[in-house]
């Protein structure tokens, strides 16, 4: 993460009681000089989040927006006007947005099934590109994106921002850097949450457009598990299906087919075993990661009381018994950062993106890592359908990915 040498007292800077401080007298309140202009392609929920976070971070201006839906553009512009006085350009075409000479980087925030086609136009610009998760809905398209990235003159970053959540940043530090648990042996993750939210044309209720629940939503968790396991997945077995959500939803004569729960088991080449539990018919949000090693156990938790509208709380517990000091720590980012989106993770995802633009080293999700998350998710989707485990080497051969992956996980 980027460490600023000057504190930004954002709470005071935005307070109504501090508006009498003129720009020339601001020091602690002074915003950074924005070096870049970005274009947001897709102005739905996540596109608007990126607009809000970019403005809060202050390292780039949102220069323009593009969407096929007029209502989405209107809503995004109206929301933007509540926190920025800048004028937005509304592009008439995707090509116009990508080729605007005033724009330095592109953020692709369109529905999942459009990512690959939008990217094929975006890369003609030669500009840095951010692609929201999942990078694609099909492994063949994900592989094509990795190949494009390997040959691209700039860089492509994938929006797997959960790795920036406070509890997971600390979990990786304790486990992989401090080696507090010794060698990792098992990893368990779970998400309990309400159903998928509404989307324009309800595209996220259909496997064809979303890639399936385990691709659309759970690529985040498979990315985290892959990073913690530090090895390539070997075998995946999953059981799941549809129990409660959208059983009666029909859109334009077509019935929803999206899954709402799953159990996934993953074996890794280094002997690490992992499991993931998903339940999407719960009243509130709870995430957990449990990592167990030779010397102890780590528990990373996030809870969001959705119905009471309480702020999310995150914590990490280290249980070492006689091997060392155990502790439980409450974690969090500044409230203004957490409220900007995804409990603050998107803010630090932007930090990494703009660090890359400035030529600095940055920890961010690469297209190859994004594809490995998709490989696990796709194998799990397949296993749910067939009732049989999926051997990853066989999946890689069948999908003709061997030469691209070369048996390695980045």
- The answer to the question of residue 349 being in a domain is no
115 belongs to a structural domain: yes
* Helix, strand or coil, per DSSP, at residue 226: helix
What pLDDT does 8 receive?
Answer: 65
| CA pseudo-torsion sign 209, 210, 214, 220 | positive
* Residue range 360-380: mean pLDDT, rounded: 97
Q: Is residue 357 part of a domain?
A: no
Distance CA(66)–CA(44), nearest Å, equals 10
- According to the model, what pLDDT value does residue 310 have? 84
Q: How far apart are the first and last CA of the chain?
A: 20
> Do 106 and 223 fall into the same domain?
no
What is the total count of domains within the chain? 2
- 15 and 45 co-located in one domain: yes
Same domain, 29 and 169: no
180 and 325 fall within a common domain: yes
Residue 307 sits in a domain whose CATH number is: 3.30.360.10
**pLDDT score at 2:** 46
Give the domain-ending residue among 110, 127, 161.
Answer: 161
Residue 78 shares a structural domain with residue 208? no
CB 264 within 8 A of CB 140: no
| Domain presence at residue 228 | yes
CATH number of the domain encompassing residue 140:
3.40.50.720
Q: CA angle at residue 377 from 255 to 285, to 5 degrees? A: 75
Asked if residue 347 is part of any domain, the answer here is: no
Q: Does 118 reside within a domain?
A: yes
Residue 2 in any domain: the answer is no
Task: Answer yes or no: are the C-beta atoms of 381 and 222 closer than 8 Å.
Answer: no
Residue 1 — very low, low, confident or very high, per pLDDT cuts 50/70/90?
very low
Q: Give me the pLDDT at residue 33, please.
A: 85
Give the structural domain span for 150.
10-161
DSSP 255: E
CB atoms within 10 A of CB 386: 10
| Integer Cα distance of 233 and 407 in angstroms | 10
Which residues have C-beta within 8 Å of that of residue 193, sequence separation ≥ 6?
Answer: 279, 280, 282, 284, 285, 286
Claim to verify: residue 201 and residue 92 sit in the same structural domain:
no
Question: Same domain for 147 and 194?
Answer: no
| 348 within domain boundaries | no
Q: Look at residues 146, 161, 176 and tell me which one is the last residue of a structural domain.
A: 161
Distance CA 100, CA 225 (A): 39
Same structural domain, 337 and 233: yes
Q: How far apart are the C-alpha atoms of 39 and 152, rounded to whole Å?
A: 19
Q: Are residues 167 and 314 in the same domain?
A: yes
What confidence tens digit (pLDDT) does each residue in 285-324 have? 999 999 999 999 999 999 999 788 888 999 999 999 999 9
The answer to whether residues 109 and 166 belong to one domain is: no
Q: Does residue 195 share a domain with residue 155?
A: no
pLDDT digits over 189-210, tens only?
999 999 999 999 999 999 999 9
**Of the candidates 119, 142, 161, which is a domain's last residue?**
161
Same domain for 311 and 194, yes or no, is: yes
- Mean pLDDT score across all residues of the chain: 94
């Amino acid at each position: 993460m980027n460490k600023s040498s000057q504190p930004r007292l954002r709470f005071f800077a935005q307070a109504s009681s501090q508006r009498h401080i003129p720009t020339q007298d601001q020091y602690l309140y002074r915003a950074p000089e924005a070096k870049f202009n970005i274009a947001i392609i897709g102005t739905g929920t996540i596109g608007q989040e990126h607009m809000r976070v970019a403005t809060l971070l202050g390292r780039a201006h949102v220069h323009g927006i593009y969407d096929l839906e007029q209502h989405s553009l209107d809503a995004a512009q109206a929301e933007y006007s509540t926190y920025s006085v800048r004028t937005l350009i509304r592009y008439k075409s995707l090509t116009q947005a990508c080729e605007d000479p005033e724009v330095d980087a592109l953020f692709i925030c369109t529905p999942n099934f459009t990512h690959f086609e939008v990217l094929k136009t975006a890369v003609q610009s030669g500009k840095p590109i951010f692609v929201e998760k999942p990078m694609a809905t099909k492994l063949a398209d994900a592989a094509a994106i990795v190949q494009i990235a390997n040959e691209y003159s700039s860089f492509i970053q994938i929006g797997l921002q959960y790795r920036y959540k406070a509890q997971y940043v600390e979990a990786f530090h304790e486990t992989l850097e401090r080696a507090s648990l010794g060698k990792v042996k098992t990893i368990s993750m779970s998400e309990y949450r309400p159903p998928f939210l509404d989307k324009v044309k309800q595209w996220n209720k259909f496997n064809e457009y979303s890639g399936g629940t385990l691709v659309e939503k759970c690529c985040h968790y498979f990315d985290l598990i892959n990073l913690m396991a530090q090895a390539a997945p070997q075998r995946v077995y999953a059981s799941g299906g549809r129990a409660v959500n959208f059983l009666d939803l029909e859109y334009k004569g077509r019935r929803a087919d999206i899954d709402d729960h799953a159990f996934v088991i993953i074996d890794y080449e280094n002997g690490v075993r992992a499991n993931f539990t998903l339940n999407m018919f719960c009243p509130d949000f709870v995430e957990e990661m449990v990592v167990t090693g030779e010397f102890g156990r780590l528990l990373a938790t996030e809870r969001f009381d959705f119905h009471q509208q309480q702020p999310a709380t995150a914590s990490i517990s280290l249980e070492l018994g006689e091997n060392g000091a155990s502790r439980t720590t409450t974690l969090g980012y500044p409230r203004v950062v957490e409220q900007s989106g995804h409990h603050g993770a998107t803010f630090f995802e932007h930090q990494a993106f703009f660090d890359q633009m400035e030529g600095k080293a940055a920890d961010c999700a690469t297209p190859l890592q994004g594809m490995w998350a998709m490989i696990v998710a796709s194998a799990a989707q397949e296993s749910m359908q067939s009732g049989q485990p999926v051997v990853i080497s066989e999946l890689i051969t069948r999908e003709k990915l061997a030469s691209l992956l070369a048996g390695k996980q980045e």
